[in-house]
């Protein structure tokens, strides 16, 4: 039996229910077939096979940070089309399926949108954030949201609905802190007035985990408009409350102010 190099992110417990596709999947996982096997899964009618193919694209794309290229790069248009179509389909596994996270087909598709998607995907991503299908879908939707938000500028600002949905998660006191911080980090590198105002509000929340991340983003991208907010929050810290993370924030703020002064 061939060694499995990579099968999928989400589909290890599921078969395609098609003997031929399962064989192709096994050979693709072992490296015995390449593009032909990938395309056979991607273009099939099996939800599981398509999900596996999308995961393979995402896996190969993640490896490009070490150098080299994605072997499926020339099929990106098809991959994106399939991913977008997958988001219009019912969640699989469905809600009543035993032993698995709901909506893994959506999770696989959203991970691909994080690589290939753009601002036109914002509405679909917002819908996925609101469904609450599973933690996997939520996490993948935030990954995709980053790409949609970054594909914006002054002429084409970030999608307001998507920004509101992420904001809703950040301020939801009933959610776990990890979810709230992960949602906040979807605003990383985004430069937009409404996002800056959200970050300024978050920085004043009584939650250090959110506070420091919001301050870091304000210092990095919004210092000209929210300098007073950053100063106010830092000045409110008692000496005994300034731990290592807050010390880094203070140092970063001081360095940013020096750069700002030199540029004036």
| pLDDT 10s digits, 66-87 | 999 999 999 999 999 999 999 9
Tokens of 120: 């036109």
Share of the chain above pLDDT 70, in %: 96
Task: Phi first, then psi: give them for residue 174, nearest 5 degrees.
Answer: -85, -10
Overall average pLDDT of the 105-124 stretch = 97
Going by pLDDT thresholds of 50, 70 and 90, the confidence category of residue 98 is low
Q: What pLDDT, on the 0 to 100 scale, is given for residue 153?
A: 78
CA distances from residue 41 to 54, 61, 110, 161, 185 in whole angstroms, order as listed: 9, 17, 18, 34, 33
């Amino acid at each position: 039996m061939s060694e499995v190099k990579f099968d999928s992110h989400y589909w290890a417990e599921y078969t395609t229910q098609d003997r031929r596709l399962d064989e192709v999947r096994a050979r693709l996982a072992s490296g015995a077939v390449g593009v032909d096997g990938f395309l056979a899964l991607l273009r099939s009618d099996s939800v599981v096979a398509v999900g596996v193919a999308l995961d393979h694209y995402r896996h190969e794309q993640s490896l490009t940070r070490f150098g080299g290229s994605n072997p499926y790069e020339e099929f990106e248009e098809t991959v994106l089309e399939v991913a977008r179509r997958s988001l219009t389909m019912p969640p699989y596994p469905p809600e009543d399926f035993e032993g698995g996270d709901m909506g893994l087909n959506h999770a696989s598709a959203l991970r691909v949108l994080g690589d290939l998607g753009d601002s036109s995907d914002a509405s679909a991503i917002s819908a996925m954030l609101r469904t609450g299908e599973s933690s996997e879908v939520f996490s993948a939707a935030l990954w995709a949201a980053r790409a949609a938000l970054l594909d914006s500028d002054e002429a084409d600002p970030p999608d307001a609905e998507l920004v509101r949905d992420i904001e809703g998660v950040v301020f939801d006191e009933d959610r776990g802190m990890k979810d709230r911080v992960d949602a906040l980090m979807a605003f990383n590198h985004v430069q937009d007035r409404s996002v800056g105002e959200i970050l300024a509000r978050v920085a004043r929340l009584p939650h250090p985990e959110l506070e420091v991340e919001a301050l870091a983003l304000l210092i990095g991208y919004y210092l000209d408009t929210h300098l007073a907010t950053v100063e106010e929050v830092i000045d409110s810290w008692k000496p005994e409350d300034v731990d290592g993370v807050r010390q880094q924030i203070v140092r970063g703020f001081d360095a940013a102010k020096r750069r700002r002064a030199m540029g004036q």
